[in-house]
Amino acid sequence: MPKISLDVPAELLSDLKKHVGEQHKFISVADAIRTACRKMLDQLDIIDERQGRIGKSNE
C-alpha cells in the first residue's frame, strides 16, 4: 500500500484521535483517515450519479 503524508490542523487531529484505540471505532489514525476517504468517495459517487455525471456502467 502506498504511503502519503499530509498536514492536518492540530484540532482536527485531536478530535480524530478521540475515536482511535481499543475501545473506539478505529484501530489507528491511518485506519480512520482511510475510512473517511472511502466514505467521502462513496458520497461523491452518489452525488455524481444523481447529477448524471456518472452511471453504474461508467465505473
Q: For residue 46, what pLDDT is reported?
A: 92
By the 8 A CB rule, do 41 and 32 touch?
no
The alpha helices in the chain, defined as continuous H runs, are 10-17, 29-50
The torsion angles phi and psi of 47, rounded to 5 degrees, stand at -65, -45
In whole angstroms, give the CA distance from residue 45 to residue 49.
6
Q: For residue 57, what pLDDT is reported?
A: 56
Residue ranges of the chain whose pLDDT lies below 50: 58-59
pTM of the model: 0.75
Q: For residue 53, what pLDDT is reported?
A: 87
Q: For residue 54, what pLDDT is reported?
A: 78
Q: For residue 47, what pLDDT is reported?
A: 93
